[in-house]
Amino acid sequence: MKNNINFLLAGVGGQGTILASDVLVNVGLAAGFQAKQAEVHGMSQRGGSVTSHVRWGEVVYSPLIGAGEADVLLAFEKLEALRCVNSMRPSALALINMQEIEPLTAISGEQAYPSDETLHNVFAQLSSKVKYINGEEIAGLLGNLKAANVVLLGALSALLEQGQQVRNELTPEVWLKVITARVPPKHVELNRKAFQAGREAVR
């Protein structure tokens, strides 16, 4: 790995973005990096945009990633992915969950929800390293939609390996150990499967 790796996570309140970023920062620490995380969310209990910054590196100072310096986008929702595109570095890695959560401003007809075509075009211009995934569909097959965030983490782990953006010692087991420590014991098996399914989905 070169210097630092900056992850930008974006989703909607209730999607498990915070848990995912919690896992990600602890995976960084477990892999021997300095790691920092910053949650950026406003006043909404539910349904607002949630972004989280996670940074790994030999030395990490700022917990925040400056706009234009994010290396990896993990987007839990399509509209939130688009909202973050201008915070990315050119040729960033992007993993986008094809979930659509219409905000009230779109429901009311004030503004249109962007089309998939817009999403694909914009990200194709940004980078060739863009992957689309349907985390909810995969999690649904495993019997629990809420595991979609761990599906995404699984996919992310595989993409980082493929891009050789991480050290070899960052094995799936490191991720699974952190995930296991973060979820209720009764959901450990489900989350293992979700992580594995995510890895396979981007293979």
Identify which of residues 13 and 172 has a Cβ nearer to another protein in the complex.
Answer: 13
Q: What is the dihedral of CA 47, 153, 89, 58, to 10 degrees?
A: 120
Question: Other CB atoms closer than 10 Å to residue 53's CB: what's the count?
Answer: 22
Least separation in angstroms between residue 97's CB and another protein is: 16
Q: Is residue 26 a contact point for another protein (CB under 8 A)?
A: yes
**Which of 109, 164, 168, 184 is close enough to bind another protein by CB under 8 A?**
109
**Which of 5, 8, 9, 65 is close enough to bind another protein by CB under 8 A?**
65
* Footprint of another protein on 118-177 (CB under 8 A): 118, 122, 125-126
Largest separation between any pair of C-alpha atoms in the chain: 50
With contacts defined by CB under 8 A, how many residues of the chain interact with another protein? 57
Identify which of residues 121 and 200 has a Cβ nearer to another protein in the complex.
Answer: 121
Helix (H, G, I), strand (E, B), or coil: what is residue 190?
A: helix
Long-range contacts of 33-37, Cβ-Cβ distance < 8 Å, separation of 24 or more: 33/57, 33/58, 33/60, 34/58, 34/59, 34/60, 35/60, 36/60, 36/62, 36/63, 37/63
Q: Is residue 184 a contact point for another protein (CB under 8 A)?
A: no
Helix (H, G, I), strand (E, B), or coil: what is residue 193?
A: helix
Q: Is residue 9 a contact point for another protein (CB under 8 A)?
A: no
* Footprint of another protein on 38-57 (CB under 8 A): 38-49
Identify which of residues 48 and 143 has a Cβ nearer to another protein in the complex.
Answer: 48
Least separation in angstroms between residue 203's CB and another protein is: 28
Whether 68 contacts 97, CB under 8 Å: no
Whether 12 contacts 84, CB under 8 Å: no
**Which of 73, 85, 130, 201 is close enough to bind another protein by CB under 8 A?**
85
Task: State the residues that interact with another protein by CB under 8 A.
Answer: 12, 22, 25-26, 29, 34-49, 60-69, 79, 82-83, 85-90, 102-114, 118, 122, 125-126
